[in-house]
Structure 1
Amino acid sequence: MRTMALHSVSWGAVIAGAVIALVAQIILNMVGLGIGLSTIDPAGTGTPTAGSLSSGAGIWFVISGILAATAGGWLAGRLSGKPANTTTAYHGLLAWAVSTLVVVYLLSSAVGGIVSGASSAVSSTLGGAGNLVGGSVKTAAQAAAPSLQGMNNPFSNIEGQIRGTTGNDPEALKNAAVSAMRAAVTGDAAQQKDAQEKAAQALAKAQGIPVDQA
């Protein structure tokens, strides 16, 4: 029973040591941040480079972590109330392990939040660009549809003009004029001249105008 009491773990001391280690690291990091910011001189030329600042920040983070873990481990060993040096050392080691796990969890959560936010921003940007491009393409297609229809059937405008004229012209003359004009517009080069003459005569009869005007 004496051995069990001597080597039992005091979790209150471990948690207290871990809390002290975390607080000490926060304070030391704030001190390092203040020192680093004091070296920056926007109006001067003696400002350290980004590489030197990042290297100094990394070195100070390691040093502050070691100092904070030492303080937390020493306090956990003192609060454990155990006379054995090995038992107090174990309490200090446990306090260091707990504080390290907390720091790793906080860092992983921060990195995960940054990555998630960046992914959401990229997804929303790509989605907005896709919607914008899709809407522009759709609008352009709708605007170009009548022009494309006119290009696919160049005789449609001519046919509409002939059939849409007012008067008492017989339907047969209108159909003949339409057929002749279609042959004149879409026929091959060998038959185009003959088709043009027939179209002019049919159109003149249908509209009651001279052949030259037709």
Structure 2
Amino acid sequence: MPSDGSAVSWAAVFAGAVGAAAFSLILILLGTGIGLAVVSPWSGDGASAKAIGASTIIWITVVQILASVLGGYLAGRLRSRWLTVHTNEVYFRDTAHGFLAWAVATILMASLLSSAIASTLGMGMKAGGAVVAAAVPAAAGAAAAAMPDDKSPDYYIDMLLRSDAAPAPAAGNPPPATDNTAEVGRIFAHAIATGEMSSADTRHLGQIVAAKTGLAPAEAEKRVTETFTRFKTSIDEAEVKAKKAADDARKASAGTALWLVVSLLIGAFAASMAATFGGRLRDSSVLANP
């Protein structure tokens, strides 16, 4: 029966939206399965990260187009006929039905996949921040525990109790074996925190190295300086890598968000056009009831 009382056939809109949402879910699961099939944890196997990212963007766009076309077509084909409405107005209403079906389907899918969308957009920055937070402790090793907190008194207790000269062993007796690893780690940590190692710390570590290795004091202090320089360089390199990883994650999240917007706009256009096609079929003389 013709109906000119309402410009919107909500039953047709919701039917198209449900069809589009269900078809989207099927295509998303299909894409996930294909993606997992081509990914491999083994080095050199499977698709590269760039290939996976590009294929994901393409698949998201394809899903939007196919599902939106289906939803828009259903909304246009199932809506009521408007016998007394001008052709231009019918075209506009069909376009609106396709757009509304796309909008409802988008809201449905966003509700179902809200956690996945939030994870996709937020995980990049969270992962980057975690990398930044963990990079320096990972590079610093034993020194990491002392670096975040300047209130620890261990370094200053060591400085209070240290001797200005290496202890001389009794005649005929070997020097006592002392484990200075923890103290050395605290000195290195303090030097990293302040940006440089003081001459007093360098001299003290030189005494420890000389006692352990038998090197001359000057050679021992030179080894201390070289070792600390390499240690500080490794931490600086780790920080640079961590910042690069965070920046890459930020760019990936931004790119994903922008492509999602583009694909949604494409889907809205496709749904609107498909609805006009379905509406024309609905109103054609061949399909219309006599």
The two structures have a TM-score, normalised by structure 2, of 0.38
Greater C-alpha Rg: 1
Q: Which has the higher contact order (CA 8 A, sep 6+)?
A: 2
The two structures have a TM-score, normalised by structure 1, of 0.48
The structure that is helix-richer by fraction is 1
